Amino acid sequence: MKKIAIIGLGNIGRHYMTGLSKLKKNNFFFFIDISNTNLKKAKNHWKFLRKNNDNCKFYNSLEHLPKRIDLIIISSTAESRLKIIQKIKKKALLNFGY
């Protein structure tokens, strides 16, 4: 099972969700946004796409992500992107297979 995260659930992040919802394999998704409004919209969007929320979690902070993630899609604003990447690097969340 692959662990996939989307950080930033605005319009573009929800488009990524649409694409990921079509994956046939069993995956676990982490959806992150600091905006409660975006989280609510994303939950409704995912429910519409998959009808099942058993294989995903919605959070408002990177702190909730597990240490091993196979894919992270960062769809945040440009101003926050560098800080997000630095936090991810510091926590060593990516599984590069080393």
- Phi, psi dihedral angles at 13 (to 5 degrees): -60, -40
Query: Mean pLDDT throughout 8-31?
Result: 93
Cα distance between residue 95 and residue 68, in whole Å: 5
The token duo for 75 is 């769809």
Residue 73 and residue 16: Cα distance in Å, rounded? Answer: 8
Residue pair 30/2 in contact (Cβ under 8 Å)? The answer is no
For the entire predicted model, the pTM comes to 0.86
Residue 46 CA to residue 4 CA, distance in Å, equals 14
Interval 28-48: pLDDT, tens: 999 999 999 999 999 999 999
